[in-house]
Amino acid sequence: MKIFARRLLAGALLSSTFLMSGFAAVAQDVTMVLPAREVGAPTYDPIRGTKLNVATTLIYDRMMLQDADQSFHGQLATEWSVTEDGMEWVFKLRPGVSFHDGEPFNAATIAWWIPKFAGTENAFMTEAIASVEIIDDLTVKFTMKNPDPNLLSNMATTFMGVPSPKAYDAMGDGYGVTGAVGTGPFKLESFTVGQETVLVRNDAYTSGSALSENKGPAHIARLTFREIADDSTAFLELKTGGVDMLLSVPADFRTTMEAEAGLTVVTMPGRELFYMPINTTVAPFDDIKVRQAAALAVNQPEILANLYGGIGAVADTFLTAALLEGKVKDELRISYDPDRAKALLDEAGWVAAADGTRSKDGTPMTVKLWTQNGTEFRRITEVIQAQLAAVGITAEITVLDPASINDEYKKMTEHQLAVRSYSYENADILDWFFSAERLGYPNVSMWTDAVAEELRIKAMTGSRTWDERVVNFTAYHEYVLTQFVFAPIYQPVQSYAFTTDALMVPEVIRSTRVQSQTFLDIMVK
Amino acid sequence: MLLFIVKRLLLLIPVFLAISVVIFMLVHLVPGDPIDSILRVGATPAERAALVARYGLDQPILTQYVTWFGKMVLGDLGDAIILRRPVADLIAMNLPHSLALGSLALVFSTVVGITAGALAAIFRDTWFDRGVMTLILLGSTVPSFWLGLLMIMLFAVTLGWFPVSGARTASALVLPVLTIGLGGVALVARVTRVAMMDIARRDFVMMLHAKGVSRWRIELGSVLRHAMMPVVTILSLRIGWILGGAVAVEFVFARPGLGSLLITSLNQRDYPVVQGCLLMLAIAVMLGTLLGDILQAMMDPRIREGMK
C-alpha cells in the first residue's frame, strides 16, 4: 500500500512537472491594447495616482479582491474581522510574500503604507483609520475614527495596491514614473507614458487569490500594454496580429470584429451609465412635474435597440445593475412613458399647440440640451432631442469639450439638460453627483433638498457594516429617484477581443473588469 | 551677412516676449481647469480648493504669468499637473519623434514636390502637367487621418510591408512620413510650378532662349533656381508645422509627438505642458522664419542691402 502511495505521489509529481514544463515551454510574449479610458495614465504610484491603468493590478497585489458579485476574497490578507461597532478591524496577512526587490511583506509594511495616504488626492480611502497597530509579524489592527463599511471596497481598488516601502521612499516623487515595485505577478520593466508599458513575469509569485485557478506565476512571460487612442488602428493591429488582445472594444466595432475569423469578442456587464441631469433650479425644471415629464420622455428601449443593436441594457436608476444599491422598488424605476409625460406637462400648464410644441403664458417650451464632443454623445443627444420633441419639449443642442462643459456647469444657471456618463463601481457616486456641497459641478442637477441631505449623510457616515451601508444607500437612491433630478438612459456593456490562435482567456471573469485575477489564468497557445 | 543675422536675432526678442504673453493668456482664458481631471470621486470642495492652491491657480493671472516667465527664462518650464513630470522631460521624450517624422516628411515633400512642380512647369499644358496637378489637388484635399488609414489598409493590412502603428522600429516611420509628406508635396509642387511659370516669362529668360541656350539648361539652371525663393519661404514656414502639425497622423499611427502631447494636455487643461509645447512651436516657427530669411538673403543680395 505504501509503495502504491509512493508511486501515486511520484506519478502526480511527474504529471505536474510535465504540465508545468509544458506551460513554461509555450509561455510567450503577449501584447495587449489598454482600454481607451486608461490611455495616458501618468504613473504607477497607487498612493498618489489619480488615474491608473490595469497594469497596476499586475504590479501590485491588494489586500483583497472583489468578485463580479461584489463579494471579497483575500489576496495579501488571508482573513479579516471587524468588531460589531465597526471600530476595529484585524487583518491576518499572507506569509512568505516578498516584493519584487526582495523586501519582505509583513505587518510593518501595512503600518508604513496606510499613513502614506495622508495629504494625497486618495486620502479619503484611509481617512477613517485612526491608527494601525502591529499585533505580530503577520497581523495588524486598524482602529477607526468612525465606522467605515466601505473600507474593504476601498482596499480592493487599484489605488490600494501595496508598494515596497524601501523602493517607494528611495524613489521619492519619481516613484511610479521611473520605477514601481510591488508583490504582484508581474514586474515593471519599462514605462513610456502614453505609449507602452512592458511587464515581465514574477517567477516567485504564489499569491493567486480564490478568484484565479492559477495561484502561482502567470502563464504569460512578458506582457506589453500598448496605448492606442484610435479605435480603427487598434482593430487593425489585432486583425494583423500586431497585438493579441484589445481590453476594450468600442460598440461600433463589435459587429465587425465578431465577423472576423480568428477573433473572439466577449461582452460582460458594464461599469458605465449614461444619464441626463436636469438643472432643478432653472425654469421650467424647477417644477418637479416638468422634470418628471422630461425623464419619462426618454425612450431607453429605443436607444438600446436602435443605437446599440440591443447590446447593453436600459438604465432605469442612477446606479449600474451590478450594485446592490441599484435594486430599488420597481415603482421607483424611471421608465419611458410618453402619455404620462404629456399629461404631466398639461398639468404643469404647458399647453400643446397643433404642431405638438408647447408653451405657457406665451413662452415657448424651448430648453438647452448640452452634450460633450464625441460621436457617441452626439448621437444619443440627437435621439433624446427627438424624443423630447415627441412630448412637446423643444431642445436646442450645444456641444462642448469635457473641460469647458464642466466650467459652464459651475456657472450654475446656464444649463438645463445635459447628456453625461460616468464609470464607477460604488454607490457613493450618488454622494458625488447629488451632494448639496458640490453644486454646479459635479452636482449638475443643482439639487439641494433637506431630506436628501439627511439620507446622504446617513449613507455616507452612519453605517457600521456593509449590509447597513447597502440599506442606507438604497434608501438615499430611492429618494433621489422620486425627485426626477436626472433621467437614466443606457448602460453599455464592456467588451474585449483576442486572437483565438494566440490566447486562451477564461470564460468567466471573476471581477467587474478584466484585471489581475483573470491575467493569471490567461494562457498562451 | 553677420550683421544681418544679428539684427534678425535681436528682432526676435520682443516677438518672443509678446508670444509668451499671448500663449499664457490664451491658455488661461480657455474655459476649464486641470483640477477636475485629477479630482477623485468623493473629494470635498475644501480638498478641491487645496489642490487649486497647490498649483498656484488661485493667484492673480499676472502673478501666475510672472512666476512662469521667471522660471522659463531660467530654463525651468515647470511640472505637468496631470502627467506629473517636468514639462522639459515630456518635451524631450516627444521632440525626437516629432523631429524624425517631420524632418523626413519635409525632405520627402521637398524633393518630390520640387521635382513634380518643376516637371509640371517644364511640360506645362501637357497630359503630364494635368496628371501631376490632378494628383496634387487630390493630395491637398484628402484629410491626413483618412489617408493614413488608407495607407495602413494597403501597406500594412493587405501587403504586410510595414507595421500598422507604433514607434518601435524605423519601418514604422515609413507610412506616417508618406502620409504627411504627400500633403506637403502638393503644396511645394504647386508653388514651384507657379513660380517657375512666372520666372519663365521674365526678360532674362527670353534672352537666354534668344542666345540659344538649351531648354533644359534654362529651366533647371536659371528658372528653377530663381523660383526657389517662394519655395524657401513656404518651407521655412513649415518648420513649426513639422513639430506640431502632425497630430492626426500621430493619433492614427499611435505615435508619440509634440502635437499629440499638446492636444492631450489641452483637453485636460494641463497648463504647464500646453504652455511649454506652444512655446517650443513658437520658437520653431521663429527659427524657421529666421532660417528662411537667411537663405533668401543668401540667394538675393537685394534683401541683405535692404536690412542695412
Is B163's CB within 8 Å of A194's CB?
A: no
Q: What residues does CATH 3.10.105.10 cover in chain A?
A: 272-491
Residue A20 pLDDT: 42
Q: To the nearest 10°, the Cα dihedral for A383, A388, A393, A395?
A: -30
Of B37, B38, B267, the CB nearest to A401: B267
- Give the residue on A whose Cα is nearest the Cα of B79: A173
Say what the pLDDT of residue A12 is.
Answer: 42
Q: Indicate whether B48 belongs to any domain.
A: no
Q: How does pLDDT run across A146-190, given as a tens digit for each residue? A: 999 999 999 999 999 999 999 999 999 999 999 999 999 999 999
Per-residue pLDDT tens for A267-288?
Answer: 998 889 999 999 999 999 999 9
Residues of chain B in contact with residue A404, where contact means CB-CB under 8 angstroms, are 30-32
The CATH class of A2-267+495-524 is alpha beta
Question: For A458-475, how does the pLDDT look when each residue is reduced to its tens digit (9 = 90+)?
Answer: 999 889 888 999 999 999
Total number of domains in chain B = 1
Tell me the angle at which helices B224-244 and B258-267 cross, rounded to the nearest 10 degrees: 40
Q: What's the pLDDT at A472?
A: 97
Distance between CA atoms of residues B197 and A356, nearest Å: 64
A232 with B39: Cβ contact below 8 A: no
Q: B194 in a domain, yes or no?
A: yes
Residues of chain B contacting A424 with CB distance shorter than 8 Å: 41
Q: Rounded to 5 degrees, what angle do the CA atoms A397, A398, A402 make?
A: 130
3-class state of residue A274 by DSSP: strand
- Do A431 and B43 count as a contact with CB atoms less than 8 A apart? no
Residue A503: which residues within 8 A CB-CB, separation 6 or more? A30, A244, A245, A522, A523, A524, A525
Nearest Cα residue to A320 out of A470, A424, A418: A424
Q: Are B84 and A406 an interchain contact pair (Cβ–Cβ within 8 Å)?
A: no
Give the bridge partners for A503, in sequence order: A524
B residues 14-33 closer than 8 Å to A (CB): 30-33
B47 to chain A: which residues are within 8 Å by CB? 121, 123
CA B272 – CA B266 distance, rounded (Å): 10
Q: Best mutation site among A53, A126, A195 for testing chain B: the one with the most B CBs within 10 Å?
A: A195
Contact A42 B84 (CB under 8 A): yes
Strand bridging mode A129-136 / A139-144: antiparallel
Single out the residue of A75, A270, A41 nearest to residue A157, CA to CA: A75
Range of the domain at B170: 102-256
Residue A11 has pLDDT above 50, yes or no: no
Is cis: bond before A163, omega within 30 of 0?
no
Residue A424 has pLDDT above 70, yes or no: yes
Q: Which residues in chain A have Cβ-Cβ distances shorter than 8 Å to B38?
A: 50-51, 121
Q: Name the interface residues of A facing B (CB cutoff 8 Å).
A: 40, 42-43, 50-51, 121-124, 177, 192-195, 226-230, 232-234, 236-237, 239-240, 242, 401-404, 406-408, 424, 426, 428-429, 431-432, 437-438, 441
Residue holding cell 484585524? A90
Evaluate if residue B41 carries a pLDDT over 70.
yes
Give the model's pLDDT for residue A477: 98
User: Are the Cβ atoms of A233 and B93 closer than 8 angstroms?
Assistant: no
The pLDDT value recorded for residue B46 is: 86
Query: What crossing angle do the helices spanning B87-122 and B224-244 adopt, rounded to 10°?
Result: 150
**Nearest-by-CA chain A residue for B93:** A192
* Cβ-based contacts under 8 A for chains A and B: 108
Nearest residue to A333 via CA among A491, A449, A488, A493: A488
Q: What is the pLDDT of residue A244?
A: 97
Contact B267 A402 (CB under 8 A): yes
> Contact B31/A403, CB-based, under 8 Å?
yes
- The answer to whether A432 contacts B39, with C-beta atoms less than 8 Å apart, is no
Tell me the pLDDT tens digit for each residue of A178-221.
999 999 999 999 999 989 999 999 999 999 999 999 999 999 99
Chain B hits for A40, Cβ within 8 Å: 83, 264
Is B256 in contact with B243 (CB distance < 8 Å)? no
Are the Cβ atoms of A230 and B254 closer than 8 angstroms?
yes
Query: Is any Cβ of chain A less than 8 angstroms from the Cβ of B167?
Result: yes
Average pLDDT over residues A101-123: 95
Neighboring chain B residues of A437 at a CB cutoff of 8 Å? 44-45
pLDDT(A10) > 60:
no
Looking at chain A, which residues constitute the CATH 3.40.190.10 domain(s)? Answer: 2-267+495-524
In this prediction the pTM is 0.86
Which of helix, strand or coil describes residue A237?
helix
Q: Which grid coordinates belong to A429?
A: 457616486
pLDDT (tens digit per residue) in A232-245: 999 999 999 999 99
SS3 sequence of A412-468: CCCCCEECEEEECCCCCHHHHHHCHHHECCCECCCCCCHHHHHHHHHHHHCCCCHHH
- Per-residue cell: B177: 512620413
Phi, psi of B277, deg, nearest 5:
-65, -45
CB contact under 8 A, A50 and B268: no
In terms of DSSP bridges, do strands A351-352 and A358-360 run parallel, antiparallel, or are they unpaired?
A: antiparallel
Contact residues, chain A, for B164 at CB < 8 Å: 233, 236-237, 240, 242
Cross-chain Cβ contact A236/B152 below 8 Å: yes
Whether the predicted pLDDT of B8 surpasses 60: yes
**Chain A contact set for B42 (CB, 8 A):** 124, 428, 431-432
| Cell numbers standing for residue A229 | 487612442
pLDDT greater than 60 at residue A328: yes
Q: Is the pLDDT of residue B80 over 80?
A: yes
CA A422 to each of CA A187, A375, A430, A488: distance values in angstroms, whole numbers, following the listed order: 31, 16, 11, 12
Measure CB to CB from residue A404 to each of B31, B80, B156 and give the nearest one: B31
Asked if B253's CB is within 8 angstroms of A403's CB, the reply is no
B152 interfacial to chain A (CB closer than 8 Å): yes
* Whole-angstrom distance, CA of residue A338 vs CA of residue A296: 6
| Rounded Cα gap, residues A251 and A255, in angstroms | 8
Average pLDDT of span B267-284: 90
Domain membership of residue B208 (yes or no) is yes
Taking CA–CA distances from B269, the nearest residue in chain A reads A403
Q: What is the DSSP string of chain B?
A: -HHHHHHHHHHHHHHHHHHHHHHHHHHHHSS--THHHHPPTT--HHHHHHHHHHTTTTS-HHHHHHHHHHHHHTT---B-TTT-SBHHHHHHHHHHHHHHHHHHHHHHHHHHHHHHHHHHHHTTTSHHHHHHHHHHHHHHHS-HHHHHHHHIIIIIIIS--S-SS-SSSGGGGHHHHHHHHHHHHHHHHHHHHHHHHHHHTSHHHHHHHHTT--HHIIIIIIIHHHHHHHHHHHHHHHHHHHHHS-HHHHHHTT---HHHHHHHHHHTT-HHHHHHHHHHHHHHHHHHHHHHHHHHHHH-HHHHHHH-
Nearest CA distance, A121 vs chain B (angstrom)? 7
Segment B93-138, tens digit of pLDDT: 999 999 899 889 989 989 999 999 999 999 988 999 999 888 888 8
Query: Which residues of B are less than 8 Å from A426 in CB distance?
Result: 41
Could you read off the pLDDT of A54-100 as tens digits, one per residue? 999 999 999 999 998 889 999 999 999 999 999 999 999 999 999 99
Residue A283: phi and psi, rounded to 5, are -60, 145
CA B71 → CA B89, B249, B267, distances in Å? 15, 33, 24
Q: Is residue B207 part of a domain?
A: yes
Query: At B307, is the pLDDT very low, low, confident or very high (cuts 50, 70, 90)?
Result: low
Chain A positions touching B37 (Cβ under 8 A) are 403
pLDDT tens-place string over residues B127-180: 999 998 888 888 778 888 889 999 999 999 999 999 999 988 899 999 999 998
Flag whether B144 is in a domain: yes
- Which residues in chain A are closer than 8 Å to B31, comparing Cβ atoms? 403-404, 407-408
- For chain A, the distance separating the N- and C-terminal CA atoms, rounded to the nearest angstrom, is 40
Q: Is B83 on the interface with A (CB under 8 A)?
A: yes
Helix (H) or strand (E) holding A476: helix A466-482
> Residue length, chain B?
308
- Reported confidence tier of residue A1, pLDDT bands at 50, 70, 90: very low
Tell which residue, A22, A151, A38, has the closest CA to residue A89.
A151
Percent of chain A surpassing pLDDT 90: 82
Residue B67 lies in a domain: no
B159 touches A: beta carbon within 8 Å = no
Region of poorest pLDDT, from A162-166, A179-183, B33-37, B270-274: B33-37
Q: What is the mean pLDDT of residues A336-346?
A: 98
**Residues of A170-201 as b/e, b for ≥16 C-beta within 10 angstroms?**
ebeeebbbebbbbbbbbbbeebebbbbbbbbb
Residue A509 exposed, middle or buried by CB count within 10 Å (0-12, 13-18, 19+): buried
How far apart, in whole angstroms, are the C-alpha atoms of residue B120 and residue B200?
Answer: 13
- Is A124 in contact with B261 (Cβ distance < 8 A)? no
pLDDT in tens, A349-368: 999 999 999 999 999 999 99
Cis status, amide bond into A442, omega within 30 of 0 = yes
Is residue B288 within 8 A of residue B274, CB to CB? The reply is no
**Euclidean distance between CA atoms B289 and B234, whole angstroms:** 10
Closest CA to A135 of A115, A155, A108: A108
Q: Do B254 and A229 touch (CB under 8 A)?
A: yes
C-alpha closest to that of B86 among B242, B215, B227, B276: B276
Residue A237 to residue B251, Cβ atoms within 8 A: no
CATH (domain of B229)? 1.10.3720.10
Q: Is the pLDDT of residue A21 over 50?
A: no
Q: What single-letter DSSP state applies at residue A50?
A: S
Mean pLDDT of B217-223: 88
> How far is it, in rounded angstroms, from Cα B254 to Cα A231?
10
- Residues 6 or more apart from A444 whose CB is under 8 A from it? A277, A279, A409, A415, A418, A420, A433
Q: Are A392 and A355 in contact (CB under 8 A)?
A: no
- Give the fold, CATH level 3, of A272-491: Dipeptide-binding Protein; domain 3 (3.10.105)
